[in-house]
Amino acid sequence: PPYEYHEGDKIVGIDMEIADAIASKLGVQIEIEDIAFDSVILEVTSGKADLGLAGITATEERKQSVDFSDSYTSSKQLIIVKDDSSIASGADLEGKTIGVQTGTTGDLMVGDIKDAKPERYAKGMDAVQALSQGKIDAVVIDSEVAKKFVEETSGLKVLDEAYAEENYAIAVQKGNKELLDAVNKALSELKADGTIDSIIAKYIKAE
């Protein structure tokens, strides 16, 4: 949450609504496949999926494998710690055991922290539970996801300082210019008429 999550047997969230809005602009039906985050790019490169929407940051490394649409929203990576933790900023993560969701930008960034030990989890919530149980020292994860988890888990807090800023975009198979151009045109229209803003506002309340 809030990008994609299960509500009963339905998959809902910001990315799902944006995908629906793009599909209706393009006059196509959408079929949602729920897979592990670290497999999304692979599904797109192999042609199993036409689009990858999963709160994906358009990093230089990922651009080697796929083409990205224009950005549809920005986010931050934040640090979650226990209420009584001595960790007060990113500088305090040196030498610590840090939980991340496999394949996310948080996962990639933690690898650059001196002497840090990344603990990788398939789901962000698993990392947060491990933190709650004292198995790890901190979690680095997307800001809106972080806030949601901290709301639902007592004894945890999000540090004020952002660990990193990033832009989310839609992954398309490399070289598929026709689809990329169509997606960008749809995104541009959806931004202009306020659809994207209203979708995001529905899931993310202003501070």
Give Cα 203 distance to the centre of its chain.
14
Alpha-carbon distance of 172 to 47, in angstroms, equals 9
- The Cα 127–Cα 171 span in angstroms is 25
In one-letter notation, the amino acid at residue 31 is: E
Per-residue pLDDT reduced to its tens digit, 59-72 = 999 999 999 999 99
pLDDT digits (tens, 9 = 90+) for 92-137: 999 999 999 999 999 999 989 999 999 999 999 999 999 999 999 9
How many residues are there in the chain? 207
Q: Which two tokens stand for residue 71?
A: 């950005």
The pTM of the full predicted model, rounded to 2 decimals, is: 0.88
Q: What is the mean pLDDT of the chain?
A: 95
